Structure 1
Amino acid sequence: MQNFKTPSLRLDSIDIFRAATMFLMIFVNDLWSLEGVPKWLEHSEAAADDMGLSDVVFPVFLFIVGLSLPFAVTNRVVKGDSQRTILIHILERTFALLLMGVFLVNYESMFSEGMLLPKYVWGILLITAFFLIWNVYPKNPEKTKLFTGLKIIGYLLLAFLAAIYKGGEVANPSWMETHWWGILGLIGWSYLLCAVAYLFLKDNLILVVAAWIFFVAFNIADFAGLLGFLDNTREYFWIVGSGSMPAFTMAGVAASAIYMKYQPKGKSQLFILVLVGLGIICLVYGFALRPFWGISKIRATPAWVGICSGIGFIVYAFFYWLVDIKNTKKWALPLAPAGTATLTCYLIPYIWYAVITIFGISLPPIVRTGMIGLVKSLIFSLLVITLTGIINRLGVKLKI
């Protein structure tokens, strides 16, 4: 475990990049509540050869997950954690993300008719259970039993919600299924693959880049029809997104591995040039592959992977220059909670949407249409982040 280099245990640019991306994620996730939204902001249809802003936000977030990974692993090594301890932590985080992902996906496809609880009450209790289980409780020996009890209540609540669940169609109800893993589940699988890879590859830049190229190549090979011999295993064992999701995350891991190679030598400018260069290469291969399968987030095409990876590299190069080199950070203070309490920030809107549906709260059409509607969603995103900061100070903060 001593092969890890520790030039810096944290980069402010990563937190601010994450916060800005989370701000955009909340914004685009709120577009469903608007009318007259410009097409370039929305998700593109599966069959379309197109990409809107909403199609870029999630892959960039996966890229940031990768950026953070080497620093998270290195921090644990510095604290004295063994490889086994770190691996257990990785598995625990993966389990939490997959569990939350499955519940949230099934929440979307459930119905209230014939259920013990209305759908949106079920949803509020679901998020409550998440907070009970994964809240960061104070290290107070006198309250250990209380905090343990709250976590147990959270798990029991999840079990109860699962037991009464009904989804599918009213005429043919079904129980919870992994229709797809959801945003959190996709993050979980990508995190697992890339975290384990980095844990064993350490900061060997050549091997890290090779792992990234493997996921990219796997994605291309699947679309090119070269993986037909694996069809029998596809239903039971497959790389999430046909390699696309971990490709984004491993690209971020590669960026941080490059930083760890050049930063100790005082080559910050070279680091930026390398990031921009990689970004351009990704954009070129993305647009070069577009004529074959088009650009599509839903189909996770190679062109989408290349273009969004390129955006991740180039935008992060800008944030690194702005934040870590120029030390320009104050502008990001209102967004700070989204960078450090990201999961809390992501889950709060679920409660809000459930509450306004239960009580029939609706804004006038003028506030939900066109440019005014977009401003409304931007304000909503900022309010969610502000609320996250407030409840963090009150001792409520999710961490897995």
Structure 2
Amino acid sequence: MNNVYDRVRSIDAFRAVTMFLMIFVNDLDGVPKTPSWLKHAAENADALGFADTIFPAFLFIVGLSIPFAFENRIKRGDHRIPARIITRSFALIFIGFYHANMETYNEAIAILPKPVWESLLTFSFFFIFLDYSHFSKVKRYLLQGFGIALLVAMSVLYKTTDPGQTWLHLTWWGILGLIGWAYLLCALIYYYSGGVLWVQAAAWIFFLFFNLDFHFGLLDFLAPVQKYAWIAGNGAMQAFTMAGIVVSVMYMRLKENKDIQLLWIGMILLAFILFNLGIIVRYFSGGISKAHDTPSWVFICTGFSLIAYAFFAFLVDFKHKYKWASIIEPAGKQTFTCYLVPFIFYPIYEMTNLGYPEYLSQGTGGLIKCLIFSFLMIWLTGLLNKIGIKLKI
């Protein structure tokens, strides 16, 4: 008989699809003559593109994973969970900081060309965060030491295009950094509250209101320190993650009581409420905008995530249909590796300057190329895993 805290395959499937789509929309971003609705909406547009829903879904999945992962660790007698939360969050924030600086690398005055610097930086992350559980201590220390030395060298060689700056500095936290901050706060809330449902719900509502208050101007006094503040933003990222935690706690409690059918009713009802709230606040708080983390974007994208997970939970956990996900399974289980693999591929592609047929550079051909690329990155992740190369933070 399966334990209620066993690994939930619907979360793996949802994560795999979301990771696939994240690679796809990132690759599609620079492809001309492709449907605009698939891409991110313009920075100052009151609009929602398909790409704008992917990152919120990923943060939602981070929240979904926390209760099951923690309960399994507690069941195994692992009492190092707070230390694990801090080290994992720091690793994500640390890499996110470098990725944010990657965007302003000044190739004109730096010693190394940008593709070379990016690839060497990414290799350093692989050496530092490789899963060394099957390595001897000597090999681990040698390889990690090499990775740290390589990272230090890349840090020393870094130059920026930002005016008034010459070296690595905080611009924004980067995608991984935002995930790290959301994970840190939400995981600590879950752990120290003992997973009590009403506490998770209260925290979720707090972050939603924090985001609302920020956009209504009630938190303007925080402006001078906002990007350095403990909230690490305006509450949007934490709201997505806490929503996932609430759903997972509901999942566990309802499964224990054999009332799992209420989960779908609850998620669909919550999504309906959030969609309506998103439409209402759209006219009072900056419209729908991922670029500005508006409340309307938070409400509506959380609603989409709820509907999406209701589908995956029904298909995978209730109907036991999981084989279809095997082709992209590495994206759901080695997600961190999968995220970083393109950061090796893109610089190498730029350095080799191989190019590809014009048909694949735009329009329908461009869409096909992006789909193939996403599958290729996931296949490479699976291949690396088979030869013992996977990242662990």
- Residues 163-174 of structure 1: matches in 2 within 5 Å? 163-168=156-161, 174=166
Match of 1:287 among 264, 271, 279: 279
Shift >4 Å, 4+ stretches: none
Q: State the identity %.
A: 45
Deviation at 1:344, TM superposition (A): 0.9
Contact 1:241 1:300 in 2 (8 A): no
Residue of 186, 210, 213 corresponding to 1:218 = 210
Are the aligned partners of 1:137 and 1:395 in contact in 2 as well (CA < 8 Å)? no
How many equivalent pairs are there? 390
Say which of 218, 227, 237 aligns to 2:229: 237
Distance in 1 (alpha carbons) for counterparts of 2:199 and 2:45: 36
Q: Is the 8 A contact 2:331 2:378 kept in 1?
A: yes
Unaligned residue ranges in structure 2 (runs of 5+): none
Matched, 1:388 2:385: no
**SS at structure 2 position matched to 1:168:** coil
- Match 2:138 to one of 133, 145, 152: 145
1:107 is aligned to 102
CA separation in 1, counterparts of 2:120 and 2:248?
A: 38
Deviates most, 323-332 or 271-280: 271-280
Q: Distance in 1 between matches of 2:227 and 2:308?
A: 36
Preserved contact between residue 27 and residue 380 of structure 1 (Cα < 8 Å): yes
1:67 to 2:59 alignment: no
Q: Does 1:192 align with 2:184?
A: yes
CA-CA distance at 1:373 after TM superposition: 1.0
Contact 1:212/1:250 (CA < 8 Å) preserved in 2? yes
Cα distance, 1:233 vs structure 2: 4.3
Deviation at 1:144, TM superposition (A): 1.2
Q: Take 1:281 and 1:263, find their aligned partners in 2: how far apart are those partners?
A: 24
Asked if 1:367 is matched to 2:364, the reply is no
Sort the Cα spacing of 1:346 and 1:231 in 2 relative to 1 into closer, same or farther, 3 A.
closer
Supply the AA of the counterpart residue of 1:372. G
Moved more, 194-203 or 358-367: 358-367
Q: Is the 8 A contact 1:286 1:306 kept in 2?
A: yes
Q: Would the aligned equivalents of 1:129 and 1:158 in 2 still touch at CA under 8 Å? A: yes
**Range with greater deviation from structure 2 (15-24 or 113-122):** 113-122
Distance change in 2, residues 1:99/1:233 (3 Å): closer
Bigger shift: 212-221 or 282-291?
Answer: 282-291
Root mean square deviation of aligned Cα: 1.4
Query: Equivalent residue for 2:257?
Result: 265
Work out whether residues 16 and 328 of structure 2, in 8 Å CA contact, stay in contact via their aligned partners in 1: yes
The Cα offsets for residues 184-216 of structure 1, whole Å up to 9 and x where unpaired, read as 000000000100000111221111100000000
2:309 counterpart of 1:311: no
Q: After the TM superposition, which residues 281-360 of structure 1 pair with which residues of structure 2 at under 5 Å, given as runs?
A: 281-292=273-284, 293-360=286-353
Q: Note the 1:22-61 alignment, pairs <5 A.
A: 22-61=19-58
TM-score normalised by length of structure 2: 0.96
1:372 Cα shift? 1.7
Offset of 1:32 from its aligned partner?
A: 3.2
Whole-Å Cα distance in 2 between the matches of residues 109 and 361 of structure 1? 25
Partner of 2:121: 126
How does the TM-score come out when normalised to structure 1?
Answer: 0.94
Deviates more, 1:104-113 or 1:241-250: 104-113
